[in-house]
Amino acid sequence: MADLTTIFAGIRSPNPFWLASAPPTDKAYNVVRAFEAGWGGVVWKTLGEDPPVVNVSSRYGAMSYNGTRIAGFNNIELITDRPLQINLDEIRQVKRDWPDRAVVVSLMVPCVESAWKNILPQVEDTGCDGIELNFGCPHGMSERNMGAAVGQVPEYVQMVTEWCKLHSRMPVIVKLTPNITNILAPARAAKDGGADAVSLINTIMSICEVDLDAMAPTPVVDGLGTHGGYCGPAVKPVALRMVGDIAREPDLQGLPISGIGGVSTWRDAAEFIALGAGNVQVCTAAMHRGFRIVEDMIDGLSNWMDSKGYRTIADFRGAAVKNYVHWGDLNLNFRTIAEIDQDLCIKCGLCHIACEDTSHQSIAKLRVDGARRYEVIEEECVGCNLCAHVCPVEGCITMVPQASTLPKLVWANHPNNPMRVPEPAE
């Protein structure tokens, strides 16, 4: 049986599934229920200074798509609105009762050293396993020069990280904001500041939808709306790319990464781990389906690892990083074409319509014995695989690599590249 035990930034947990800092980790009641369901760890909802912040009503927006509820999730909630001491007392008790689970505490206080120096000993005294610095919140707190306002300035990221390493013995995880042009800059700053790990992504600044009756962004608060933080399945592609960018960067290799963003299934988790994450954090999926989703995540990941012969998480962690390259490193001589399985085809014609109207006119619409039939025109097919994506039948359209005697050709050596250095004449 696969061993799902992870040691992340020196923090041990029975599996790689942690709950992210968010409403599901706002109090002991929730966290205990999560541990009873099987979660390997939690990042306690972000603590701040007293007096606590004041939240609004309502707080959540969502994007549904083609009948899928909460394809994307938006929130304008701030950090915990519970008194600091109540949170600290609960953290201490939970860690005492659940010593085998990871309990990390998210923190956000003003960007002055005295504020961090004051709160760190109080948090450390709870016996928690580490801290996560919330440098990502894109709403409410950023207007107070915290959250993303810090995370978007690498110098601030490094400075606060250094303060935390100076005034605490706990592992320090730096949570990075995606609301930045280049994720590598704050990641390097975190490493230079002594961070034990980074976690990403935090939420993406967004407006989820506009209420056309109220004529305001949702969620609507007394007739008005504001931008919030976007998360859920829709942000997974953005998160995977940023995790992969850090994992493949030579000077950042070895920096542990906690993957966050749209993790809903064991497969999502496996993808993040394959791109370099040491564990994953989950929020929206738990808010949508409840804490027991972790049972399927644990079983699914364990069964998949068994089928692949992976004994531990480390056996496949980062396995896809070497294959995540820049566009210019792709083989321009590689060719693949679509193939339609006529036994599976339901003759809906979506492949033909998509290709005919918006692509390369390489799927013919035919009549054979009075019945509709769609066939690939191989000499016209460029292998874009749009048809495979629009086909509603799993496995009906596949992409078939074509045999070739041509050598690998990358853009740097392509004749059309104006920057190509010609090979010396013999």
Q: Is 137 a catalytic residue?
A: yes
- Residue pair 168/234 in contact (Cβ under 8 Å)? The answer is no
- The β-bridge partners of 3 are 312
Encoded amino acid at 214, one letter: A
Give the dihedral sign, CA 86/88/93/94. Answer: positive
Encoded amino acid at 197, one letter: A
Q: Is 119 exposed, middle or buried (0-12, 13-18, 19+ CB in 10 A)?
A: buried
Q: Which long-range contacts (CB under 8 A, 24 or more apart) does 286-294 make?
A: 286/19, 286/24, 286/34, 287/22, 287/23, 287/24, 287/73, 288/69, 288/70, 288/73, 288/232, 291/24, 291/33, 291/34, 291/37, 291/39, 292/37, 293/264, 294/15, 294/17, 294/34, 294/37, 294/38, 294/39
Q: Is 55 exposed, middle or buried (0-12, 13-18, 19+ CB in 10 A)?
A: middle
Paired tokens of 166? 């100076």
∠ Cα 248 22 184 (to 5°): 20
Choose, from 137, 164, 345, 396, the residue flagged as catalytic: 137
**Calpha distance 132→368 (Å, rounded):** 63
In angstroms, what CA-CA distances link 220 with 22, 59, 141, 231, 332?
21, 8, 19, 18, 50
In angstroms, what CA-CA distances link 251 with 189, 217, 245, 294, 389?
12, 41, 11, 34, 36
DSSP category for residue 15 = S
Query: Mind telling me the catalytic residues?
Result: 137
